[in-house]
């Protein structure tokens, strides 16, 4: 009896075990299907990246017109073909008009691409130019340009050129595909809290050189067309393009963020005007070097860059990776980046109260008025006054005092305008006074002019904000 019961129990256990195995297989299969569905949902937001003939055509037009941003030669296998095919048409009507637009209307960089995305494959406007125009274009200029563009397309045999290079375009697309496969576009809907009415398009451009653009426009049905146009600036030993994920993925994220950030901040322009203008005064030099010519562009760029960092935070980037990104932006002049990213973290933690980033704008506007973007400055020199001409040659130290605490992680000094001959012989350099002073041991000689410059390369606050460059001048007795 016991043996019979044991056999029955073993059979029951075997049946239950098999059921559990089947259930596990079913759960695993369900998870796989769900994952594939989620992956498909992401990829449905955008098509596989392509080389776009509209983008290449306008790149060619403004290359011939002399725009420096469209005259890169990194991908010579392609640009040499462009030069060879289109040089006979360098004085075409549209090229002359494009030169006028660049000089008189600032039609360059993103304005060129804003026009390109608003044309269909037959070069007809996708929207009514009498109602909406590409960025920085007037209605009349846009209409005239499209008319001349169609003429150029025929006269310069553009169709033949593009057909001849189709195999090259396909190879470029294949090389870019691994970058696309890493992209999570659903994050945009989640982060900005907007409904999914965006249509994302990634375009690989071989005519944009080092430049990348993020233009967008709204269709009459309120569907947003958002673009990330990525340039090509590296090639391998065979002369074919190389698209590194570490470079291009952040760039795609950056450009798509522009399609949200630019209209959002434009809508709330007045809320940021006062603080934006004050900040721009502090970092105008750094911003102008990056072609960010006013405070509005600067704030757009800042929020875009902070949003990219938030994307990587949300996708599990390490603290060291995030800190590297923050330092990179601070070094480019976005001195308030730490505070801005912290605000986006606060927004992310309060989504029940702030369902969209736009609903958080009042908090962001207020935060901008509190950001410390003032560079640390040299406040005084202990041993003498700057530009003093009666300094003792027996002096053994020069103590530089700052108005803020520095990190104390190194120092950076260069020759001044007078060169190496006026740079003092220095010994040990060390920080004192809670890192608000740096002591420089020196060996001086009589009747000698001295000059050296403290730079922002290593003299930084703990937050990474660099010192305002300071030139030290003195003469010994």
pLDDT at 37 over 50: no
DSSP helix/strand/coil, 117: coil
Q: What is the pLDDT of residue 32?
A: 35
Write the CB contacts of 376 (distance below 8 Å, at least 6 apart in sequence): 402, 403, 404, 406, 459, 460, 461, 465, 466, 467, 468
> Distance between CA 369 and CA 432 in Å, rounded?
32
Q: What is the pLDDT of residue 372?
A: 75
Q: What is the pLDDT of residue 167?
A: 97
Q: What is the pLDDT of residue 18?
A: 53
pLDDT at 136 over 70: yes
Please give the biggest Cα pair distance in the chain. Answer: 117
pLDDT at 19 over 90: no
Q: What is the pLDDT of residue 43?
A: 43
Q: Which helix (H) or strand (E) holds 259?
A: helix 245-267
Q: What is the pLDDT of residue 200?
A: 83
> Distance between CA 120 and CA 118 in Å, rounded?
7
**DSSP H helix total and E strand total for the chain:** 15, 11
Mode of pairing for the β-strands spanning 198-204 and 224-230: parallel
Q: Which two tokens stand for residue 470?
A: 């300071």
Q: What is the pLDDT of residue 225?
A: 87
Pick the closest to residue 144 from 96, 110, 111 (CA basis): 96
Please write the tens of the pLDDT for every residue from 188-220.
Answer: 989 999 765 568 899 999 999 999 998 988 888
pLDDT at 30 over 90: no
Please write the tens of the pLDDT for every residue from 226-280.
Answer: 898 999 999 999 999 999 998 999 988 998 898 889 989 999 999 999 999 999 9
DSSP helix/strand/coil, 432: strand
pTM exceeds 0.85: no
Please write the tens of the pLDDT for every residue from 281-325.
Answer: 888 888 988 989 999 999 999 999 999 999 999 999 999 999 999
Please write the tens of the pLDDT for every residue from 327-363.
Answer: 899 989 999 999 999 999 999 999 999 999 999 999 9
**Confidence class for position 223, pLDDT limits 50, 70, 90:** confident
Q: What is the pLDDT of residue 39?
A: 37
Q: How far is CA 453 from the centre of its chain?
A: 31
Q: What is the pLDDT of residue 285?
A: 82
DSSP helix/strand/coil, 453: strand
Please write the tens of the pLDDT for every residue from 54-108.
Answer: 999 999 999 999 999 999 999 999 999 999 999 999 999 999 999 999 999 999 9
DSSP helix/strand/coil, 25: helix
Would you say the C-alpha torsion 450, 453, 458, 464 has a positive or negative sign?
A: positive
Mean predicted lDDT score pLDDT of the chain: 89
Mode of pairing for the β-strands spanning 470-476 and 388-391: parallel
- Overall average pLDDT of the 400-424 stretch: 95
**Confidence class for position 419, pLDDT limits 50, 70, 90:** very high
Please write the tens of the pLDDT for every residue from 162-183.
Answer: 999 999 999 999 999 999 998 9
Please write the tens of the pLDDT for every residue from 434-476.
Answer: 999 999 999 999 999 999 999 988 998 887 788 888 999 999 9
Per DSSP, helices labelled H in 332-435 are: 337-348, 361-368
Write the CB contacts of 79 (distance below 8 Å, at least 6 apart in sequence): 72, 73, 207
Q: What is the pLDDT of residue 12?
A: 46
Q: What is the pLDDT of residue 45?
A: 53
> Distance between CA 47 and CA 41 in Å, rounded?
12
> Distance between CA 337 and CA 328 in Å, rounded?
10
> Distance between CA 151 and CA 404 in Å, rounded?
62
Q: What is the pLDDT of residue 144?
A: 98
Q: What is the pLDDT of residue 193?
A: 93
Q: What is the pLDDT of residue 24?
A: 44
Q: How far is CA 113 from the centre of its chain?
A: 17
- Percent of the chain residues past pLDDT 90, beyond the cut: 74
Q: Which residue has the higher pLDDT, 26 or 276?
A: 276
Q: What is the pLDDT of residue 97?
A: 98
pLDDT at 41 over 90: no
End-to-end CA gap in the chain: 117
């Amino acid at each position: 009896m016991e043996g019979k019961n044991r056999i029955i129990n073993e059979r029951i256990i075997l049946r239950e075990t098999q059921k559990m195995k089947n259930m596990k297989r079913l759960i695993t299969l369900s998870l796989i299907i769900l994952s594939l569905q989620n992956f498909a949902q992401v990829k449905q937001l955008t098509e596989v990246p392509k080389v776009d003939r509209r983008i290449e055509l306008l790149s060619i037009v403004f290359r011939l017109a002399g725009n420096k941003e469209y005259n890169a030669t990194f991908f010579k296998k392609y640009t040499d073909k462009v030069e060879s095919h289109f040089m006979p048409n360098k004085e075409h009507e549209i090229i002359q008009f494009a030169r006028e637009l660049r000089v008189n209307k600032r039609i360059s960089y993103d304005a060129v691409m804003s026009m390109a995305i608003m044309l269909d494959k037959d070069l007809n406007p996708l929207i009514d130019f009498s109602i909406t125009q590409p960025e920085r274009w007037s209605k009349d200029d846009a209409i005239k340009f499209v008319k001349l563009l169609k003429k150029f397309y025929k006269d310069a045999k553009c169709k033949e050129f593009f057909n001849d290079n189709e195999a090259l375009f396909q190879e470029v697309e294949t090389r870019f595909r691994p970058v696309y496969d890493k992209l999570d576009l659903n994050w945009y809907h989640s982060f900005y809290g907007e409904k999914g009415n965006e249509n994302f398009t990634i375009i690989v451009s071989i005519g944009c050189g080092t430049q990348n653009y993020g233009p967008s426009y709204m269709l009459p049905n309120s569907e947003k067309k958002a673009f990330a146009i990525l340039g090509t600036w590296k090639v391998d030993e065979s002369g074919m393009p190389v698209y590194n994920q570490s470079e291009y993925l952040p760039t795609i994220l950056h450009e798509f963020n522009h399609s949200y950030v630019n209209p959002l901040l434009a809508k709330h322009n007045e809320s940021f005007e006062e603080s934006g203008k004050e900040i721009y005064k502090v970092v105008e030099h750094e911003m102008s070097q990056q072609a960010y010519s006013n405070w509005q562009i600067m704030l757009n760029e800042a929020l875009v860059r902070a949003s990219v960092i938030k994307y990587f935070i949300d996708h599990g980037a390490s603290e060291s990776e995030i800190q590297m990104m923050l330092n990179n932006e601070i070094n480019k002049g976005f001195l308030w980046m730490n505070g801005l990213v912290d605000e986006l973290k606060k927004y992310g933690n309060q989504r029940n109260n702030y369902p969209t980033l736009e609903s958080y704008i009042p908090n962001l506007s207020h935060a901008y008025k509190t950001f410390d973007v003032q560079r640390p400055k040299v406040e005084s020199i202990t041993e003498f006054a700057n530009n003093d001409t009666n300094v003792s040659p027996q002096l053994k130290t020069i103590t530089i005092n700052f108005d803020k605490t520095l990190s104390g992680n190194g120092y950076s000094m260069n020759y001044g305008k007078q060169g190496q001959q006026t740079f003092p012989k220095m010994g040990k350099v060390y920080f004192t006074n809670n890192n608000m002073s740096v002591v420089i041991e020196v060996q001086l000689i009589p009747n000698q002019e001295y000059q050296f410059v403290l730079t922002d390369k290593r003299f930084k606050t703990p937050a990474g904000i660099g010192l305002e460059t300071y030139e030290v001048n003195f003469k010994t007795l």
